[in-house]
Amino acid sequence: MKELSQAAVIGGGMIGLSLCVLLTGNGIHTTLYARSRLKKKREQYEEIFRRLAEKKLLTEKERSNCESYLRIVDSYEELKDAEIVFESVTEDLEAKREVYDKLFQFCPKLKAAASTTSAFSSLELAECSKMKDKILVAHPFYPPHLIPCVEVVPNENTSKEALEAVTALLRYLKREVVMIRRDKPGFVANRIQYAMLREAVHIVEEGIAAPEDVDRVLRYSFMPRYTSIGIFEHFDHCGLDLTGSICDYLYPHLSDACSVQKLLKEKCHKGEYGVKCGRGIYNWDEERIKELEKRVEAPYLEHICWNLPKDPGRF
Q: What does the pLDDT average to over 247-269? A: 98
Residue 2 has pLDDT above 70, yes or no: no
Angle of the 38-54 helix axis to the 60-67 helix axis, nearest 10: 150
- CA pair distance 255, 261, nearest whole angstrom: 10
Residue 124 has pLDDT above 90, yes or no: yes
Inter-residue contact 82 to 31 (CB < 8 Å): yes
- CA pair distance 50, 268, nearest whole angstrom: 34
Model pLDDT for residues 127-137, shown as the tens digit of each residue: 999 999 999 99
Task: Quote the pLDDT of residue 314.
Answer: 84
- CA pair distance 253, 102, nearest whole angstrom: 51
- CA pair distance 186, 181, nearest whole angstrom: 13
Residue 105 has pLDDT above 80, yes or no: yes
Contacts 24+ apart (CB under 8 A), 1-6: 1/26, 1/27, 1/28, 1/169, 1/172, 1/307, 4/28, 4/83, 4/84, 4/169, 5/29, 5/81, 5/83, 5/109, 6/30, 6/31, 6/81, 6/82, 6/83
pTM of the predicted model as reported, rounded to 2 decimal places: 0.92
Task: Quote the pLDDT of residue 3.
Answer: 65
Instruction: Tally Cβ neighbours within 10 Å of residue 307.
Output: 13
Task: Quote the pLDDT of residue 313.
Answer: 87
Residues in the chain: 315
Task: Quote the pLDDT of residue 315.
Answer: 75
The full DSSP string for 279-308 is BSSSB--HHHHHHHHHHHHGGGGGG-----
Contacts 24+ apart (CB under 8 A), 221-225: none
Share of the chain above pLDDT 70, in %: 99
Task: Quote the pLDDT of residue 23.
Answer: 98
Q: What does the pLDDT average to over 204-223? A: 98
Angle of the 14-25 helix axis to the 60-67 helix axis, nearest 10: 110
CATH topology of domain 7-187: Rossmann fold (3.40.50)
Distance from CA of residue 5 to its chain's centroid?
A: 24
Residue 74's SS3 state is coil
**Residue among 120, 159, 149 at smallest CA distance from 137:** 120
Model pLDDT for residues 134-166, shown as the tens digit of each residue: 999 999 999 999 999 999 999 999 999 999 999
Beta bridge partners of 138: 152
Q: How confident is the model at residue 302 (pLDDT cuts 50, 70, 90)?
A: confident
Residue 1 has pLDDT above 70, yes or no: no
Task: Quote the pLDDT of residue 4.
Answer: 75
